[in-house]
Structure 1
Amino acid sequence: MARGRPSKKAHIVSAAGKLFTQQGYQSTSIDQVVQAAAVSKPTVYSNFPTKLVLWEEVLIALTNESFVEMQSCLTQLRSHSKSHFTEGWIILWETWVNKVEHLAVYRIMLGEQHKMQPSTFALFAKFELVLENILMDWISVFPILEVNFFTLKAVSREALLTPALMNLPKMKEAELAEHLKSF
C-alpha cells in the first residue's frame, strides 16, 4: 500500500458503510458494494468472504469513529465549567441519536437479528458500550448515584432513541430534563 493512501479494505468498508446506512443490510448487495467502491468482486471477496463479515468490519469502523466523536463531545462538555448534569446528559444522547449511521446500526441489528452471528452481537455490544462508557464518565462528575444510571439510560432511550428509530418526534428537551431531574 502506498503511503498516504487508504487501503482498499478501508475503502471498501467505507463504501459499504454508506450503503448499509442508506439501504440497510438486506437491501445492500455485494455487487452494489463493488460498484460503489469501484473495485472488482474478487477484491471484495478476498477481503470479506461474506456480507456478514463486511458488515462486522463496518460495525467495527463505526464503533471506532463513534468513540472518537463521543469522546470529543464529552471533552467539550467538561471544558464548560457551568455544565449542568441534565443539559450535558441530553447533549450526549442527542449527539448519539442524531447520527444517521448510529440509527442504521440499530435498525440493522434489531431488524436483521436472524441473520447475525454471536460475533456480530458481541460487536454491537461494543458499539453500545461507547455510549454507555461516555455516559458513565459524565455521570461520575456529579453527585448522582450510579444505581440510577440504568433508569436514566432507559428514560433517555425511550425519549430519544426509540422515537428516532421509528421516525417519530423525540421528547422535547425541557420535558426530558424534567423527567431526569428526579435522579
Structure 2
Amino acid sequence: MARGRPSKKAHIIDAACGLFTKQGYQSTSIDQVVVTAAVSKPTVYSNFPTKLVLWENVIESLIERAKDDMETTLSSLQSALKTPDNTTLISGWITLWQTWVKKQERLAVYRVLLGEQHKMATSTVALFDQFETVLESALQAWLSGFDVIESSLFTLKAVTKEALLMPALLHQKPMDSIELMKQLELLTRNNKIK
C-alpha cells in the first residue's frame, strides 16, 4: 500500500458511513456502497461479507474517531481549568455534550440502533454500548475534578440528554446553552454539587 493512501477497506467504511448517516441502515444497500466507494462488488464482499458486518465496522471506526474528538475537547477543557476563564463543571459538561451531538454520523448511530435494534445482532448492540462509553468516559473524566454526588449524576445526564441529544436526533432546536446552564446550575445548587 502506498504511503498516505487510505486502504480500500477504510475507503469503503468511509463511503458506507456517509450513506448510513444520510439514509439510515435499512435504506442503504451494498450496491449503493459499491457506487459511492467506486469499487467492485467483490471488493466490498471480500472485506465485508454482509451489510451488518459493514455497519459494525462503521461503528468501530466511529468509536475511534469519537475517542479522538472527545479526548481533544476534554484536554482543552482541563487546560482551561488552569486559567481564570470561568470554566465550570456545568460549562465543561455542556461543551462535552455539544461536541458529542454535533457530529451527524454519531447521531446516525443512535437513530439506527434505537430505531432498528430488533434487526441488529448482539455484537452490534455491544458495539453501541462501546460507542456510548466514549461519551460516558469523557464525562466521568471531566467530573473527576469536581465533587459530584453520584445520585445527582443521573439527573444531570437526563436533563442534558433531553436538552441536547433528543432534539438533535429529532432535527429540532436544542435548548439554548444559557438556559441549559441555568437549569443545570440550579440542579447542582439544590443537590450540593460543587
TM-score band, normalised by shorter chain: over 0.9
Runs of at least 5 residues in structure 1 that lack an aligned partner in the other structure: none
* SS, match of residue 4 in structure 2: coil
2:106 matched to which residue of 1? 102
TM-score (norm 1): 0.96
Displacement of 1:48 after TM fit? 0.4
Question: Could you list the runs of 4 or more consecutive aligned residues of structure 1 that deviate by over 6 angstroms after TM superposition?
Answer: none
Matched, 1:68 2:72: no
Instruction: Find the aligned partners of 1:45 and 1:127 in 2 and give their Cα distance.
Output: 25
2:43 matched to which residue of 1? 43
2:160 matched to which residue of 1? 156
2:191 matched to which residue of 1? none
2:143 matched to which residue of 1? 139
State the Cα deviation string for residues 8-35 of structure 1 (Å, max 9, x = none): 1111001100111111111111001001
- Alpha carbons 1:139, 1:146 under 8 Å: kept: no
1:90 matched to which residue of 2? 94
TM-score (norm 2): 0.91
Displacement of 1:175 after TM fit? 2.0
Displacement of 1:121 after TM fit? 0.4
Runs of at least 5 residues in structure 2 that lack an aligned partner in the other structure: 189-194
Q: Tell me which of 113, 116, 123 is aligned to 1:119.
A: 123
Instruction: Find the aligned partners of 1:173 and 1:3 in 2 and give their Cα distance.
Output: 43
* SS, match of residue 5 in structure 2: coil
Displacement of 1:166 after TM fit? 1.0
Instruction: Find the aligned partners of 1:15 and 1:167 in 2 and give their Cα distance.
Output: 23
Displacement of 1:114 after TM fit? 2.0
* Number of aligned residue pairs: 183
Q: Which amino acid aligns with 1:112?
A: E
2:176 matched to which residue of 1? 172
- Alpha carbons 1:163, 1:170 under 8 Å: kept: yes
State the Cα deviation string for residues 30-79 of structure 1 (Å, max 9, x = none): 00100111110001001101000000000000010000001000101111
Instruction: Find the aligned partners of 2:113 and 2:14 in 1 and give their Cα distance.
Output: 19
Instruction: Find the aligned partners of 2:158 and 2:107 in 1 and give their Cα distance.
Output: 17
Q: Which amino acid aligns with 1:62?
A: L
1:23 matched to which residue of 2? 23
Instruction: Find the aligned partners of 1:130 and 1:56 in 2 and give their Cα distance.
Output: 16
Q: What is the RMSD computed on CA atoms of the aligned residues?
A: 1.1
Instruction: Find the aligned partners of 1:29 and 1:128 in 2 and give their Cα distance.
Output: 26
Displacement of 1:153 after TM fit? 1.0
State the Cα deviation string for residues 84-114 of structure 1 (Å, max 9, x = none): 1111111111111111111111111111112
